[in-house]
Amino acid sequence: MARVTRLGGVEQTRTLTPRTAVIWAVLAAELDRRAGERLTVLDVGGGTGGFAVPLAEAGHQVTVVDASPDALAALTRRAAEAGVADRVRAVQGDGDALGGLVEPAAVDLVLCHSVLEVVDDPAPVVAALAAALRPGGAASVLVAGRAAAVLGRAMNGHLDTAAALAADPAGAAGPRDTLRRRYDADGATALLTAAGLTVQEIHGVRVLADLLPAAVADGQPAALVELERALAARPPYRDLAAQLHLFARRPA
Ligand SMILES: C[S@@+](CC[C@H](N)C(=O)[O-])C[C@H]1O[C@@H](n2cnc3c(N)ncnc32)[C@H](O)[C@@H]1O
């Protein structure tokens, strides 16, 4: 489902999915607000560049910090294929030690998607994200949703795991859980606020996508994306999403 979309005035053809559509809508609004500027972007745990490369294609200068050399190699190949190798810098490093890797107050937009649930300690990572931002700069933070994980385990018949996850203060289901923690909107907001960021928007990502039979999701992709976008900002739907997207700003 490729669509022509605009990022800060630059037209791009991208495939919007339930996983990406809501996030791109939020990012596009920020890029539109700053249309004509070449922004400095930092993507922490940016992986293979699913967001970094389109941002570079829109003309921005993107640094990806990621722990995985394989992911960074794929990012570098992807950036070269897209013709934006000169606008994408790959830095191998640990998000837990971000403070030593990036210059303070030098970034216009920081992304940290699907990382805070796996790092040793999220608070110093968020503090480092905030410190990397220029005053007025924006943060796009995506975290795993806690309620969806409880419901998902229960609906699959794993009631013990659902109960453990619901009872655990961190929202994890024991040592075999692939994630260390999950968030609700209040907990994620508190984490960002403690680092001095002001949360401006919260959206649910994949409110419905993981709950639907594959035949429905695959058979009506455009309708699903539209419905996801319609529900994303509206509690209680938002709070049941597989992921929560927070858009925050460092006060000017
Ligand atoms: C689930 S992927 C998300 C990739 C990308 N942000 C996205 O949303 O498509 C998590 C990424 O975080 C990276 N990562 C995990 N722990 C990290 C850490 N402590 N420091 C830096 N990167 C880390 C992994 O290598 C992986 O590329």
Instruction: Name the residue of 68, 76, 179, 245 to mutate for ligand 1: max ligand atoms within 8 A of Cβ.
Output: 68
What is the rounded CA–CA span in Å between residue 183 and residue 167? Answer: 13
CATH of the domain at 126: 3.40.50.150
- Is 24 inside any structural domain? yes
What is the rounded CA–CA span in Å between residue 209 and residue 133? Answer: 33
Tell me which residues of the chain have a pLDDT lower than 50: none
**Percent of all residues in the chain with a pLDDT value above 70, rounded to a whole number:** 95
220 lines ligand 1 (CB under 6 A): no
**What ligand 1 atom has the least distance to the C-alpha of 46?**
6
Q: Which residues contact 32 (CB under 8 A, 6 or more apart)?
A: 6, 8, 9
50 lines ligand 1 (CB under 6 A): yes
- Is 72 inside any structural domain? yes
- Is 245 inside any structural domain? yes
Which amino acid is it at 176?
R
Confidence at residue 82, expressed as pLDDT on a 0 to 100 scale:
96
What predicted TM-score, i.e. pTM, was given to this entire model?
0.95
Q: Which residues contact 198 (CB under 8 A, 6 or more apart)?
A: 248, 249, 250, 251
Give the containing element (helix H, strand E) for 204.
Answer: strand 198-205
Q: Containing domain of residue 31, as a range?
A: 17-145+183-250
Distance 140 CA to ligand 1 centre (A): 14
Digit-coded pLDDT (tens) for 23-70: 999 999 999 999 999 999 999 999 999 999 999 999 999 999 999 999
What pairs with residue 113 in β-bridges?
142
What is the rounded CA–CA span in Å between residue 246 and residue 224? Answer: 21
- Is 208 inside any structural domain? yes
Domain count, the chain: 1
Tokens of 199: 């949360």
Confidence at residue 84, expressed as pLDDT on a 0 to 100 scale:
97
Distance 219 CA to ligand 1 centre (A): 30
Confidence at residue 5, expressed as pLDDT on a 0 to 100 scale:
67
168 lines ligand 1 (CB under 6 A): no
Confidence at residue 4, expressed as pLDDT on a 0 to 100 scale:
52
- Is 173 inside any structural domain? no
